Structure 1
């Protein structure tokens, strides 16, 4: 079976990473469970031995009361009380009047131990560097009135720890089998779950030029962010391919006429020896070359203007009150050559937007070119800036022949030229303006010029706010 998610060249696979991530906590869980089991077993062993220790103490008390007429412990009882395979246990009998009667002198109950009558008391004690557990009880001396006996039996902790370890060793195999079974189930679950990605992988591998969305059907919830990201990438690729196809179609459409004219006038120049005819053909060829060059430049500008979205670093803070007069000043000489009075009006204060300087220059150049081409000689053209609510309005107005109201709504369409216009153009200038304005989240308005028959184009930019 294929392993579509396994990395080659020594890189870790997703499957291995998932299993490793699960195995480490399972191992830690086994260790923690073993510790908890040992502590629980030790608590249980302590309880059982404490009960047995109290029973041994009560048994010794009973022996002292019924079978020891002289207050001494029989040798057989002493042997049983002190016997331990790996060492010994201890006992002691202290009299309030006579001191130690029997047993080990170091095994004396601490002062203040007995506060609730005759009940046995359990406590920890250290004897000969051995940690021990002891049980003590008070009883009246059956052989001497007015005397109190303190009977104590103690044992080492070895048996308690040994029993706890035995319980732990008995439980570890069962716990290990449980962890192994859980790990195998996790392995099976991971493999089964990852197999759900194989149809998606095969579907993408079998695609050649299909950029249709994958969609959410039959896609696991955990993979939806990935598939939606891929769908977003496909959408951007489709938009880019559509833009390229449109550019090719537009170029073919717009360059067909100039190229056909070039062919006709080149044939004219070749088929005659008349210098006037040749010169006229060459003049036409030069004009057609300039037209084709402008058309191709505007097609490229339109394609750049149609690129979607702002990437990081595309925009910067711009002061239109400084930038626009500078850009207008660069076109004054062309306006003078065309016999058009080009001027600027605007406030002195800063007018800040977030934008791209090169795109704004291209937009303004197309607006000015449109006026230079269609306003006519002796016309007046004014570029102005003003605040408009929360925005900044950039306007280019001329007093030329203008555009009939019936056609104003179509300005900004690709390749649209006002019917009856004698000037040759590509119909792309205002389309470029429209796209660059959209790129800046600005609005474009086309109006008749105030108090004249000319055209006024307004672009309202959102003002920069901190």
Structure 2
């Protein structure tokens, strides 16, 4: 039993933007809470320290007005010991009589503050609790030689409670602010994405058009996408045009051999004599070979008309090794055709960036064109040499009848054949050469040879020092 596949939720731009904003905002909220708590605690400590210092000064002033001996008066003891929360501690000690009063075992300050100076603030530990303490040193009224140290202390609970109250208020306000910001972002993104509606409507209204979609109403942030789509449309237009051209070329070139095949088949059927059938079969064989060659040439032309080679798809080729091997493969065919096929080269390495198969097709079409139109008894020379500017030059020259100078520029046209030429051909060989050369960013030169024949020269650009991969 096939398990049910749960459909995946499509990604949402709005949701992604909210998530991308929410996570940093939560992190900022946590960081801000820590900072706010630290600031609130610092503020609370300052307020409580000031109050604690005021309490110490107030008690010291009250005690300085009493005529203290070795004990506190009942009124002073009541005021010092009164604490409704039970969080305050105090001690009053005399330099002569020692501890006079206190509600806790507060340790004496490590450094006695100067007489009459401002209260000294410090932290002490009492029963595993931290206390904030203020001490003030005053002179005794009854005995000028005596002095009193008044120490007032309190726990830190009130300070932390006040800091937490401030923190809760800050978090509440900041959370409301974040919710409002995210709501505004959601609304703004929803409204902002509406600028894509004209583009969506324009695309939806199309049927089979591949024209560019980029326009003045496309936002700048969407332009990379629209330009990519336009580039894709451009490639599709090129492929469709190439497809239509191939169909038109095939219909144009295969019409004649297919019509001839039909006529010779009808002829053999109408006249079954052996000599008539044999003659018809001879013509059918020749027309079949012509149709096969035309089909292969059309496919080669279609491949050659593809997009230019990319740097990543090309290889470093050594023409000094590739071309002689390719020429050697055609020698036996040239001998059967009665043609003297030769090669001339310096033997020095000549590197280009390209496809070995495409270069092979280029050379084969040049040799085929020379063999077909130069005729039996002709001499064909393939030359490979380095030019002064570093480019590699590949040329194929024959001593055939040649081409009139005014027709040389038209040799790269599809299906073009010079007038008066009785040789059968598709007229695609040099067109294929031209397209392959363009893919390799090479130049094609047509000129009459030194012996009245035709010379076709291909000048490949210098490979330079970049060599992505050796073939």
Question: How high is the TM-score relative to the length of structure 2?
Answer: 0.90
Partner of 1:457, secondary structure, is strand
2:419 matched residue in structure 1? 419
CA drift at 1:366 = 0.3
CA drift at 1:239 = 0.4
CA drift at 1:458 = 1.3
CA drift at 1:275 = 4.8
CA drift at 1:76 = 4.3
Instruction: Tell me if the contact between 2:412 and 2:434 (Cα under 8 Å) persists in the aligned partners.
Output: yes
Of 376-385 and 311-320, deviating more is: 311-320
Distance change in 2, residues 1:14/1:262 (3 Å): same
Partner of 1:343, secondary structure, is strand
Of 74-83 and 15-24, deviating more is: 74-83
Partner of 1:46, secondary structure, is helix
Q: Hey, what's the Cα distance between the residues in 2 that align with 1:110 and 1:426? A: 112
Instruction: Tell me if the contact between 2:67 and 2:141 (Cα under 8 Å) persists in the aligned partners.
Output: no
1:3 matched residue in structure 2? none
CA drift at 1:260 = 2.7
What aligned pairs does 1:343-382 form with structure 2 within 5 A after superposition? 343-382=342-381
Partner of 1:248, secondary structure, is helix
1:404 matched residue in structure 2? 404
Of 254-263 and 160-169, deviating more is: 254-263
2:3 matched residue in structure 1? none
CA drift at 1:241 = 0.2
Alignment deviations for residues 98-130 of structure 1 (CA, whole Å, 9 cap, x no partner): 43333255331112x647961222121212222
Alignment deviations for residues 201-248 of structure 1 (CA, whole Å, 9 cap, x no partner): 343334331111111332222222111111111110010000000011
Distance change in 2, residues 1:75/1:321 (3 Å): farther
Q: Hey, what's the Cα distance between the residues in 2 that align with 1:33 and 1:275? A: 104
Partner of 1:123, secondary structure, is strand
Distance change in 2, residues 1:247/1:181 (3 Å): same
Distance change in 2, residues 1:82/1:10 (3 Å): farther
Q: Hey, what's the Cα distance between the residues in 2 that align with 1:158 and 1:263? A: 110
Partner of 2:410, secondary structure, is coil
Distance change in 2, residues 1:275/1:141 (3 Å): same
Instruction: Tell me if the contact between 1:138 and 1:150 (Cα under 8 Å) persists in the aligned partners.
Output: yes
Distance change in 2, residues 1:214/1:72 (3 Å): farther
Distance change in 2, residues 1:427/1:79 (3 Å): farther
Partner of 2:247, secondary structure, is helix
Instruction: Tell me if the contact between 2:308 and 2:440 (Cα under 8 Å) persists in the aligned partners.
Output: no
RMSD: 2.4
Partner of 2:295, secondary structure, is helix
Alignment deviations for residues 324-354 of structure 1 (CA, whole Å, 9 cap, x no partner): 1111101001111111111111122322222
CA drift at 1:11 = 4.2
2:340 matched residue in structure 1? 341
Q: Hey, what's the Cα distance between the residues in 1 that align with 2:83 and 2:242? A: 95
Partner of 2:313, secondary structure, is coil
1:308 matched residue in structure 2? 307
2:326 matched residue in structure 1? 327
Instruction: Tell me if the contact between 1:93 and 1:102 (Cα under 8 Å) persists in the aligned partners.
Output: yes
Of 99-108 and 413-422, deviating more is: 99-108
What aligned pairs does 1:114-263 form with structure 2 within 5 A after superposition? 114=113, 118-263=117-262
Instruction: Tell me if the contact between 1:363 and 1:432 (Cα under 8 Å) persists in the aligned partners.
Output: yes
CA drift at 1:437 = 1.1
Q: Hey, what's the Cα distance between the residues in 2 that align with 1:330 and 1:177? A: 83
Q: Hey, what's the Cα distance between the residues in 1 that align with 2:461 and 2:393? A: 9
Instruction: Tell me if the contact between 1:91 and 1:107 (Cα under 8 Å) persists in the aligned partners.
Output: no
2:438 matched residue in structure 1? 438
Q: Hey, what's the Cα distance between the residues in 1 that align with 2:302 and 2:147? A: 111
Q: Hey, what's the Cα distance between the residues in 1 that align with 2:249 and 2:145? A: 125
Of 83-92 and 385-394, deviating more is: 83-92
CA drift at 1:154 = 1.2
What is the number of equivalent residue pairs in this alignment?
A: 458
Distance change in 2, residues 1:349/1:119 (3 Å): same
Q: Hey, what's the Cα distance between the residues in 2 that align with 1:362 and 1:101? A: 116
Distance change in 2, residues 1:242/1:73 (3 Å): farther
Q: Hey, what's the Cα distance between the residues in 2 that align with 1:417 and 1:166? A: 97
1:13 matched residue in structure 2? 12
Q: Hey, what's the Cα distance between the residues in 2 that align with 1:188 and 1:429? A: 64
Distance change in 2, residues 1:77/1:309 (3 Å): farther
Question: How high is the TM-score relative to the length of structure 1?
Answer: 0.91
Q: Hey, what's the Cα distance between the residues in 1 that align with 2:312 and 2:423? A: 39
Instruction: Tell me if the contact between 1:379 and 1:400 (Cα under 8 Å) persists in the aligned partners.
Output: yes
Distance change in 2, residues 1:256/1:100 (3 Å): same
2:469 matched residue in structure 1? none
Of 137-146 and 56-65, deviating more is: 137-146
- Gaps of at least 5 residues in structure 2 are 1-5, 467-471
Instruction: Tell me if the contact between 1:92 and 1:107 (Cα under 8 Å) persists in the aligned partners.
Output: no
Distance change in 2, residues 1:80/1:181 (3 Å): farther
Partner of 1:427, secondary structure, is coil
Q: Hey, what's the Cα distance between the residues in 1 that align with 2:276 and 2:59? A: 144
Q: Hey, what's the Cα distance between the residues in 2 that align with 1:83 and 1:380? A: 128
- Gaps of at least 5 residues in structure 1 are 1-6
Instruction: Tell me if the contact between 1:338 and 1:377 (Cα under 8 Å) persists in the aligned partners.
Output: yes
